[in-house]
Structure 1
């Protein structure tokens, strides 16, 4: 897959390379590029960095997003716009570049059929992607999030940006809460208002994301006021935040006290962006001894139960039936966070398993059952067992709870089990390039190893397309405690009770 920079170098920029679309705020100019795979639509038009809101700076910095004012003439949408991520946070295996600038609230639209001739034409289904990064990092400018191969298969694709870290989610006494969530909502409203001009159908929108992005789409699934903005949800390794309001306030007050300012808009506005980022990094820095507490308490920055935009936890909303009419696909890799122990594998051979597992939150009452259910992993090494337990507590048990909360609502579950040719297990982020069918993209070998199987990408991507187009990914719904899940591996198979090894963690009331 070409990067945008490579395309700019090889394209001659003749008039036929460009295409214009009229949005509600003004016209934008995009560029045609080829798709890959030799089937479906042979080309895709990319419109990059279209602002959906005014730049969140100065008096707008800690406020709800303000829709972008109209512009005159044609606005070039040929390069990625500014990102909320600054510098290299060093937290992801996905290439997610930072782009300098102030207008960080923007969308990237990829479409095979811009400028349809009339409103009577049926639009194509739409995928809206929300990037991950722990709610403090990540970038929609990743070449892996290029929607060209979803375009090839008849799906218009949009990637959105949002404010990160304290600017997006931090508690401030006199500022609107959940500013990053409000960014998601305004971006989705932009899609509703504009996507038909790009050939998409606003009545067929699937929201999807990975890690924090997966948590974002689950948060939106549980928001009553967001229900009209999408019609299906695909959550990859979803990490719900649901930060308690008291914890959010304590974090905000603590940050202000460290900085020597009042915990108000005026106080935080007196601090430079770099200063806030430095304070945030210091306050959220994790060490090996704090991993268990993070699993128990969650992240300090992220969607917050504020009594306003989010009046209750996502799980409580799902139990109450919010989003029950929306089809949902969710799953995780088998060893999301096993990498956290890779460097300590030799040292952990001499660490008694009991105290280590206790520190990672495995209650003694569940230890024997959990070890028996995960005997294959336990036989590999203490590091692999610790990584599996951390994965199960942070991701796999959580997704099973969401499935249970949904009751009879249409839900499909998968496991991504194919072991990376580099790490030897299915780590965090590994399934993303399979979802986007971009195994020929940059920085692939450090994540997946040499020659990852294209046949598996065909299966993962094909099921995603089937779900976005028709609301069914192609395997049985998950029903009951031991429902069927798709296990992505070589070969891929559908397995009843595929998450049985996680069940010893579900005996408690949570």
Structure 2
């Protein structure tokens, strides 16, 4: 290990990272003990302290042990191992932290339908944010049955508890890396965008971040306690195994995936239950008091909950290329617009967008502004692995400059810029991300009138 390798002392012990042009990165830092044995279905437990520098130069284990599909738009590496409750910190030179002062922080929660995804994706590298004076933290968390199935003898929403534990780690440690714990923005895409909405609706998470970005956010529907408990009953009916930690704790991961496949299969016994995202956060009446849309659009989680500045939106086509235009509207566009409208009625600071740039790549997504296509632009990572294959050979750098710049402005200043005003009932300003970005008043008027009246 080079003598120039950066070392930062956290509250639990020192970590040794890797120096790169433009910044330092520290990978696989544990924010909780490995969820194995008695901890497999328990709330996250803080790591035990250490004294010698922890080598933090390679991505740590992922909760994803089977990819979402044979081929995915986002490269999503699977890393074996048990310590899946880890995070990665990308920062401008850590050694300059005392002189530089506290920088704004972006905490990134990956997507993957709450059953897959990886914080180790090259699309989530924080280099461009570091270049622009923002720290990035990417978070791993429990997925699928381990993270989200209701169990009679275990806490609900364990994956949500993981997100909260990671944010508490950021609060307690990010200053050592040059970040300001009072300037944290939580962000995510797809299931990660749903995670952001969930955290906004969770009283226990308030105070851990000052702003939020929900990108194509997706949550379970219906999302009430009855739905979560109904999924558990369906699990038992289809597998013959009780939905309890005691019954599942010692089973191999392969068996859990077989159970997950059985749970996801179609059938008449699913009537009244979520048709998709069955293993996802739900309003348990405790940690999450009410469903997310009710909390964010109507303030149903209580005064002061979920009122942080919020940037949210979606791609125009999402899953249309799969013959899923109804799914696109039901899962992404209508709920997103409902939240924007509800927050506007309550005069909460909200910025709303639709991504319309169409891929120039051939294949099933040709001519579509599809799910995930916006991420390389937001991260200013057009040269990352697989981007050319899904976006075409020459995606416009000018669009990446505009989108990434808006994100940096929002994380830094709680404002994406003068050319993108807030979404209000008076103007309904909508940022349209295309080859020529523009702000359009009431850009989704037809959809709004059809869906919301």
Same topology, TM > 0.5: yes
Matches within 5 A, 1:260-271: 260-271=240-251
Residue 467 of structure 1, aligned match among 396, 410, 424: 410
- Distance in 2 between the 1:30 and 1:95 partners? 23
- Distance in 1 between the 2:340 and 2:13 partners? 42
**In structure 2, what is the equivalent of residue 175 of structure 1?**
154
Stretch of structure 1 that moved more, 243-252 or 21-30: 243-252
Kept in 2, the 8 Å contact 1:397–1:506? The answer is: yes
1:306 aligns with 2:284: yes
**In structure 1, what is the equivalent of residue 182 of structure 2?**
203
Residue 398 of structure 1, aligned match among 335, 342, 345: 335
**In structure 2, what is the equivalent of residue 498 of structure 1?**
443
Kept in 1, the 8 Å contact 2:321–2:368? The answer is: no
* RMSD, aligned CA: 2.2
- Distance in 2 between the 1:493 and 1:506 partners? 24
Secondary structure of 1:251's aligned partner: helix
Kept in 2, the 8 Å contact 1:95–1:443? The answer is: yes
Kept in 2, the 8 Å contact 1:24–1:193? The answer is: yes
- Distance in 2 between the 1:292 and 1:269 partners? 29
Kept in 2, the 8 Å contact 1:221–1:322? The answer is: no
Structure 2 residue runs without a partner (length 5+): none
Task: Give the direction of change, closer, same or farther, for the CA distance of 1:179–1:133 in structure 2 (3 Å limit).
Answer: same
- Deviation, structure 1 residue 117: 5.9
- Deviation, structure 1 residue 502: 1.6
Stretch of structure 1 that moved more, 260-269 or 205-214: 260-269
- Distance in 2 between the 1:281 and 1:482 partners? 46
Secondary structure of 2:106's aligned partner: strand
Residue 151 of structure 1, aligned match among 111, 130, 150: 130
1:487 aligns with 2:424: no
- Distance in 1 between the 2:250 and 2:404 partners? 46
Residue 293 of structure 2, aligned match among 305, 315, 318: 315
**In structure 1, what is the equivalent of residue 357 of structure 2?**
418
- Deviation, structure 1 residue 405: 2.1
Secondary structure of 1:277's aligned partner: helix
Secondary structure of 2:439's aligned partner: strand
- Deviation, structure 1 residue 484: 0.9
- Distance in 2 between the 1:188 and 1:389 partners? 35
**In structure 1, what is the equivalent of residue 312 of structure 2?**
330
- Distance in 2 between the 1:393 and 1:53 partners? 35
Question: What TM-score results when the alignment is normalised by the length of structure 1?
Answer: 0.82
Q: How many residues align?
A: 439
**In structure 1, what is the equivalent of residue 3 of structure 2?**
15
Stretch of structure 1 that moved more, 183-192 or 296-305: 296-305
Task: Give the direction of change, closer, same or farther, for the CA distance of 1:507–1:156 in structure 2 (3 Å limit).
Answer: closer
Based on CA coordinates, which of the two structures has the bigger radius of gyration?
A: 1
Stretch of structure 1 that moved more, 66-75 or 497-506: 497-506
Residue 83 of structure 1, aligned match among 62, 78, 91: 62
- Deviation, structure 1 residue 121: 5.8
Question: What TM-score results when the alignment is normalised by the length of structure 2?
Answer: 0.92
- Distance in 1 between the 2:58 and 2:412 partners? 29
User: Cα deviations across residues 52-72 of structure 1 (Å, max 9, x unaligned)?
Assistant: 000000110011000111012
**In structure 2, what is the equivalent of residue 4 of structure 1?**
none
User: Cα deviations across residues 361-405 of structure 1 (Å, max 9, x unaligned)?
Assistant: xxxxxxxxxxxxxxxxxxxxxxxxxx4443222211111111122
Kept in 2, the 8 Å contact 1:115–1:197? The answer is: no
User: Cα deviations across residues 114-143 of structure 1 (Å, max 9, x unaligned)?
Assistant: 14464x863000000000011111100000
Residue 214 of structure 2, aligned match among 229, 235, 256: 235
**In structure 2, what is the equivalent of residue 443 of structure 1?**
386
Kept in 2, the 8 Å contact 1:482–1:500? The answer is: no
- Distance in 1 between the 2:66 and 2:326 partners? 32
Structure 1 residue runs without a partner (length 5+): 1-12, 35-42, 342-386
Matches within 5 A, 1:350-429: 387-406=324-343, 407-422=346-361, 423-429=366-372
Kept in 1, the 8 Å contact 2:238–2:262? The answer is: no
Stretch of structure 1 that moved more, 71-80 or 445-454: 445-454
- Deviation, structure 1 residue 247: 2.4
Secondary structure of 1:15's aligned partner: coil
Secondary structure of 2:328's aligned partner: helix
**In structure 2, what is the equivalent of residue 110 of structure 1?**
90
User: Cα deviations across residues 303-326 of structure 1 (Å, max 9, x unaligned)?
Assistant: 111111012112332322544541
List structure 1 segments (4+ residues) > 6 angstroms apart after TM superposition.
Answer: 289-294
**In structure 2, what is the equivalent of residue 92 of structure 1?**
72
1:281 aligns with 2:261: yes
